[in-house]
Amino acid sequence: MSGDPAPASPGGAGRTGGAGPGPRRHRRVLQIVLAVAVVAAGFKLLSSGVSALTGPPSPSRGALFGTWSGPAAAPLERSVPLRVKVPSVGIDAPLIRLGMDRDGAVAVPPMSAPSEAGWFTGNPTPGERGAAIIVGHVDTDYGRAVFYPLGNVQPGALVVVDRADKKHAQFRVTSVEVVDKGRFPAQRVYGVGEDIDTAQLRLITCGGAFDGQHYADNLVVYAQLVGSTG
């Protein structure tokens, strides 16, 4: 599915904008609605792995893996992301728009396009204040996909998102987490119901044990904006 989903307003989470208590409460309600939708994505998100035999590289399930901290850059204005790059693990992929599917979960890129990742239009664009979301398959019927090497990424690694405004938003990975899909931490990952003052990015794919049809876990890479060029 492409285009902006109905609850696009949660993309403004954390914006000050002079909103009073009434609008803020209204925004929180919309965020809670989105949370209900994305919790479902925790069960469905990137669950196909039909070609894998041993599974992709992935840390063990459990607590946050590693930490990196540094000064955050000031958020950027909204701009459509075009490409995501994680040089340390060889990821360089075009981005497509993702809305929500018929079940109210975050949509995923088409299985027929394993080299493409997608950004969720219901959250901020990468570089804006709040939590931007990029998802990609780890493998498909066609073999390894765009985020297959994501499990090798380390805290402190650089992530670059090329944007339509010609800016290259630069992020640093702050931590990596592997979570059971049945217990997907939607609020933490999507920033739902939280006021986030900095520009954050989440990269999400599959991980963990593979049963021949599905992966048991989701791999979530957390990153924050540290600068931009262009």
pLDDT tens digits, 9-47: 222 222 223 333 333 333 443 443 344 344 333 334 444
Amino acid 173: pLDDT = 95
- Tens of pLDDT, residue by residue over 152-185, are 999 999 999 999 999 999 999 999 999 898 888 8
- Give a yes or no: residue 2 inside a domain: no
State how many domains the chain has.
Answer: 1
Which tokens belong to 68?
């990196």
Does 3 reside within a domain?
A: no
Average pLDDT (96-119) is 90
Is 73 part of any domain?
yes
Query: Residue 208 sits in which domain range?
Result: 9-229
